[in-house]
Structure 1
């Protein structure tokens, strides 16, 4: 059992870290080949399309994963409902953009990009089945192959000088290759059948999850859209640069962990004490790795931006520092939403999610024209500082995960990261080297100081973390 669990995790992280590597290659290429304005235009268009696709995905995928038995009628209903809704969305988006802008290039970009919704939604039933069966090897293979093909296609389009089309080409190729791989791996014929009562049950179960996803994705995508409206494409490009550096490790690692966590949490949903224990252990392990990672990004932001992406992205440095600190705070409650889904209590945080999202978007709208990308970064930081304690309150109501357990789980990684930050700030300013060597030395000093500080507070951390994967 322990070995099987480790194999699943190995495939999950093969996929996710492979995505980091591939995304980094394409992102560096885009930073070199595209202007901030071109990157901003492509990002805004994809943000709108992905927001819609994410809402639909959340309504169906997680409820399918949580079902006690997944039958053919569930698969057929979810698949064909997804296809029909996706096709309707493509028509609506294509029509709406003609009313929004007279620019024919933007119209075509948006219409073509909206096809991504169809590919994304067609994949949901396949992904849900593989998550249920633990076939993370196939999930990893399809994602990595799609990313490779999408990256090659996107870079080729950028080299041809087509600007923002590169971003759109990448995501379309990636999603198309992914669904083809999934269909070849599971070549069953899905009969055309939509069971109305069954669809209503799925929608009812998925509605709270979708609202939370809508809140989260409206925040991420909406910030980009509103920033573009108030501060222009250049500000969006700078903000997207900083956000992508954070999202590369965060999205890859978070999505990998949460994909694995939901079925694991669901199996323990009837025993709150066991569920609290695994949430605590998982958060401790994740915080041990991720909190110093994001604090480290904030500390080395100047070197990272200038050395890797060039001086034209200098304005992104303070944005990256703020967003890195935001991500570090989010690590402390990263499994809260997943745990609430597992015990069917997502409704406990819906109002908080929606209210804080509206607040963040209002801050961007109010201050975007004055402070540019920094308004968006600070709005996300404020939202994270508010939503985290509200998520813990929801967990406490659902399964008794209280503040004492929250602090016991997180204090070591937080304290050790603060010690690391103090030492790196003190040492890096005194280093006589520059460039990549300065960056390397800062990373080494940070890693060593964090390891020592954490080990002093928790000498047996290796044995305890190992037990998370072998005994629970």
Structure 2
């Protein structure tokens, strides 16, 4: 967020738009390189060194394929999307994906050992370093390159930091890059489904980015990029940490799907108590926060970010049902839901554009998130034998408390319109929400408030 504050004051919305197109394609390629093997290695009951060697081998082959594909398709996409420099940006981005495979293996090993602090430390350190490099690159006039380094450099840094961590502990892991057909077949059943699931999920921002660029242009796409950068840090923090923790609990319930779904529902309700008010509050402060952070010229990003915040507030808790399906070894549920949601997003965008809606990008994103909720609840009902009502009911009461918090903020801070952006104003809004939400939660869902307080008091459990 801090690096975005600096970079947004240097670069133009059009440069953010070009970077969004490049990163959308690079994200798809990166998903195919590492993520499926991370999940496959994490959920297996037994992992041998040959499994790790095979995952590294395949990821290196896929990285080479990504570079070759970039050389072939980059110029075509550059011409079609009218994005100068896209071809070169894409080739360099593909080269930076070389760390995806080693990073995925390192995270899988750490997850199996429940070393979540080490995962978080390495990811945080990589992000900080990449952010500093991005700011220096923007100040040096590197433009789009700074945005690409900000997002992709952590892929290279994570495995290096993880190796340094192990070396410091005296547990250096030396894994060769070798091909083992038998081990690949053992990983493949889960991996190819997870690969398709992750591929569809990664295609969503790419499809949205190219639709927005085609209809509204790269400047509007840059506005959407900034809106997402307000939402993504909190969403990625909650999902990155939360998925690892939830997976470690749920993977032990593989043989009892109904109990697994019930436990996932408890996690979903618990996440909602934190995520819903956080994103509703972020939507409320966006008219003050965005101008304060990124300066003038980004007015269109404010309504986009508010819709995105509300969409993530709705969907993020329910995404932990996908963690349950992954722990169960059934990524096809996520794949089916992802295809359904992607189709709904495209339809929502087309309908909104046809109706003349300027906020079509954010509305399409909202439709996508609502469709994912419908899909995960459908499969949860099938696996859990109907045991999703208690969690959904608690989430509904959490939403009542969050909306009451929003109403209190509006009455106290926005009764005369949007106040002048300033740090004191932002602090007052945040304090008002922080005071209003617990009171509202005690009224709408006293057990939720009591459980949350108990969790804070007994963190070990």
Summarize the alignment of residues 1-40 of structure 1 with structure 2, pairs less than 5 Å apart.
24-40=1-17
Change (3 A) 1:362 1:285: same
1:127 alignment partner in structure 2: 107
Q: How far apart in 1 are the matches of 2:139 and 2:327?
A: 45
Tell me if 1:88 matches 2:65: yes
Tell me if structure 2 keeps the 8 A contact 1:36–1:233.
Answer: yes
Tell me if structure 2 keeps the 8 A contact 1:66–1:263.
Answer: no
1:174 alignment partner in structure 2: 154
- 1:359-399 Cα distance to aligned partner (Å, 9 max, x none): 31344367569868621110111122233122111012123
Q: How far apart in 2 are the matches of 1:366 and 1:118?
A: 39
Tell me if 1:60 matches 2:37: yes
1:78 alignment partner in structure 2: 55
Change (3 A) 1:46 1:172: same
Tell me if structure 1 keeps the 8 A contact 2:6–2:135.
Answer: yes
Tell me if structure 2 keeps the 8 A contact 1:219–1:361.
Answer: no
Tell me if structure 1 keeps the 8 A contact 2:97–2:152.
Answer: no
- 1:279 is paired with a residue of what secondary structure? helix
Q: 1:287 pairs with 268, 272, 294, which one?
A: 272
Tell me if 1:261 matches 2:246: yes
Q: How big is the shift at 1:125?
A: 1.0
Q: How far apart in 1 are the matches of 2:372 and 2:62?
A: 32
Change (3 A) 1:171 1:458: closer
Summarize the alignment of residues 128-147 of structure 1 with structure 2, pairs less than 5 Å apart.
128-147=108-127
1:455 alignment partner in structure 2: 442
Tell me if structure 2 keeps the 8 A contact 1:116–1:171.
Answer: no
Count of aligned positions: 449
Q: How far apart in 1 are the matches of 2:352 and 2:76?
A: 27
- 1:266-286 Cα distance to aligned partner (Å, 9 max, x none): 112223454344323322221
Which structure 1 segments of 5+ residues have no match? Answer: 1-23
2:293 alignment partner in structure 1: 308
Q: How far apart in 2 are the matches of 1:89 and 1:306?
A: 38
Tell me if structure 1 keeps the 8 A contact 2:401–2:441.
Answer: yes
Tell me if 1:425 matches 2:405: no
Change (3 A) 1:75 1:275: same
2:210 alignment partner in structure 1: 225
1:389 alignment partner in structure 2: 374
Q: How big is the shift at 1:140?
A: 2.1
- 1:147-203 Cα distance to aligned partner (Å, 9 max, x none): 122112111111111211111223343222222122334443323421223213312
Tell me if 1:340 matches 2:325: yes
Q: How far apart in 2 are the matches of 1:213 and 1:63?
A: 12
Q: How far apart in 2 are the matches of 1:224 and 1:206?
A: 27
2:384 alignment partner in structure 1: 399
Change (3 A) 1:371 1:263: farther
> RMSD over aligned Cα, in angstroms?
2.5
Change (3 A) 1:411 1:370: closer
2:130 alignment partner in structure 1: 150
- 1:345 is paired with a residue of what secondary structure? coil
2:431 alignment partner in structure 1: 444
Q: How far apart in 2 are the matches of 1:373 and 1:430?
A: 26
- 1:435 is paired with a residue of what secondary structure? coil
Q: How far apart in 1 are the matches of 2:123 and 2:361?
A: 30
Return 138-147 or 103-112, whichever deviates more.
103-112
Tell me if structure 2 keeps the 8 A contact 1:303–1:439.
Answer: yes
Q: How far apart in 2 are the matches of 1:131 and 1:365?
A: 41
Q: How big is the shift at 1:462?
A: 5.4
Return 360-369 or 283-292, whichever deviates more.
360-369
1:409 alignment partner in structure 2: 394
Q: How far apart in 1 are the matches of 2:337 and 2:266?
A: 26
Q: How far apart in 1 are the matches of 2:309 and 2:343?
A: 22
Change (3 A) 1:271 1:104: closer
Change (3 A) 1:158 1:365: farther
Return 62-71 or 88-97, whichever deviates more.
88-97
